Structure 1
Amino acid sequence: MAMPVSAARLCLCLAGRTATSLAAGPRRAVSLPARRCYISTSTGNHLQFRLDERTAHSSLDLFKKDTGVIYRMLGLDPSHLQDNPNRFRDWAVVFGDEKIGSGRHYWEVTVKKSQEFRLGVAEALMSREDCVGTNSSSWVFGYAQRKWFAMTSNKIVPVTLVGKPDRVGILLDYDAGLLGLVDVEHHTIIHTIRVQFKAPLCPAFGLWDGELLTHSGLEEPEGLK
């Protein structure tokens, strides 16, 4: 069972570190290759993606044809994983396998038995030594301590939302510089993050208990602005 996090832990994103990574010795700097490992750049309005196992932290186990992810506290022994500079070694993060360089896109996420997670987007070549939400290359909506928040560059903005829905939507308008958290029941945007995107993005997920199931290739609900 995952332990509750303190406010300080949340701000510093220490929740993403596993016991194994905290006990590890000095980290070896890894440079990402110039060649991008993602499938293709999506320009249409029906983004279809799976989770990219090559990026997944060892505590994250993909399932349902790589559309879902479950957190396992013990996880896999990192030494048994294929050495891949695209993998998150210190943070329980996984990326989607599509890059987004333009257009307006919508997907949904079903949350099961999780009290701590993050959903959003990140630059495809974001440093794997960072956690999503802690740098200027990622923008996420998170849930922890029974509260929602928006987060980028390690700055947290509370999001007013009653309860924790089982399913939420993510709306990305790359050209307009908008990332929205969507109420899928009422087809309304709960909160938006405004930013000028400058590089290809990937769907990004952080998970520290429970599981998430992604739903892509969806029509955008009518009425969203």
Structure 2
Amino acid sequence: MAMPVSLLAHFCRQSGRSACSFASRHARINPLQARRWYISRTTGNELQFRLDEQTAHSSLDLYKKDTGVIYRMLGLDPSKVQLNPERFRDWAVVFADQTIGGGRHYWEVTVKKSREFRLGVAEALMSREDCVGTNASSWVFGYAQRRWFAMTKNKVVPVTLVGKPDRVGILLDYEAGAVALVDVQSLRVIHTIKTSFREPLCPAFGLWDGELLTHSGMEEPPGLK
């Protein structure tokens, strides 16, 4: 069942944005489309990435050689952060520095003291006006109010039978049009979002408190489907 837009304020509260404001926002020209994308593209099954500071919102601080991210309530003064089309200016989102154009890929994320976050993938040229999960260009799993959910196109679907583990996996199968949330303890797929990918993707992360640490360059655990 999709969650009413009125409840999305609990999942996208950042920089004064409200559910009402993004629901009424008109479509705008994506400035990224006017720029060449210089990040290397991955098509095989070995994905090694770091977080891309050029995309990070001013409230997000990268650490551990850009493999982790910390949410700072005050963050940096947005006027002090380099202005570029790749950066999220309104939402606490950061992308990885690799794009994916094919193949099957797996990575994990350690969650530290966070009660509200999102993990998944998004089109590399997704509008930086949006939050991941609120449009047709991103597919994420989120956690808020002690509950998991899957989200795309602004629709929230509850994900049950999972608590709040310290570490989870993300499995992406580009050709199959699938992104899955993986329980790394039992090595099982908890929930899968099915779609059809047509553009290069980036691992994508949203964070509203605490820390996330990414683990890439990993082999896919055997037995996952």
| Fold match by TM threshold 0.5 | yes
CA positional deviation for 1:35: 3.2
Q: 2:197, 2:224 → 1: CA distance?
A: 20
Pairing 1:33-52 to 2, within 5 Å after superposition: 33-52=33-52
Q: Is 1:11 matched up with 2:16? A: no
Equivalent residue, structure 2, for 1:211: 211
Q: Give the superposed CA RMSD.
A: 2.2
| Kept in 2: contact 1:89–1:129 (CA 8 A) | yes
Q: 1:177, 1:30 → 2: CA distance?
A: 24
CA positional deviation for 1:44: 1.4
- Amino acid in structure 1 at the alignment position of 2:184: V
Q: 1:90, 1:9 → 2: CA distance?
A: 19
Give the structure-2-normalised TM-score. Answer: 0.90
Q: Is 1:91 matched up with 2:88? A: no
Give the structure-1-normalised TM-score. Answer: 0.90
Q: 2:178, 2:112 → 1: CA distance?
A: 27
| Kept in 1: contact 2:179–2:193 (CA 8 A) | yes
Structure 2: 5+ residue runs without aligned partners? Answer: 19-27
What secondary structure is seen at the aligned counterpart in 2 of 1:32?
Answer: helix
| Kept in 1: contact 2:5–2:154 (CA 8 A) | no
Q: Is 1:100 matched up with 2:97? A: no
Equivalent residue, structure 1, for 2:163: 163
Equivalent residue, structure 2, for 1:125: 125
Structure 1: 5+ residue runs without aligned partners? Answer: 1-6, 23-27
| Kept in 2: contact 1:108–1:170 (CA 8 A) | yes
Q: 1:111, 1:18 → 2: CA distance?
A: 23
| Kept in 1: contact 2:10–2:144 (CA 8 A) | no
- Amino acid in structure 2 at the alignment position of 1:43: T
Q: 1:32, 1:8 → 2: CA distance?
A: 27
Higher alpha-carbon deviation: 28-37 or 74-83 = 28-37
CA separation of 1:183 and 1:84: change in aligned 2, threshold 3 A: same
Q: 2:124, 2:162 → 1: CA distance?
A: 32
Pairing 1:40-79 to 2, within 5 Å after superposition: 40-79=40-79
- Identity within the alignment, %: 75
- Amino acid in structure 2 at the alignment position of 1:149: F
- Amino acid in structure 2 at the alignment position of 1:68: G
| Kept in 2: contact 1:38–1:99 (CA 8 A) | no
Equivalent residue, structure 2, for 1:25: none
CA positional deviation for 1:36: 3.7
| Kept in 2: contact 1:107–1:215 (CA 8 A) | yes
What secondary structure is seen at the aligned counterpart in 2 of 1:15?
Answer: coil
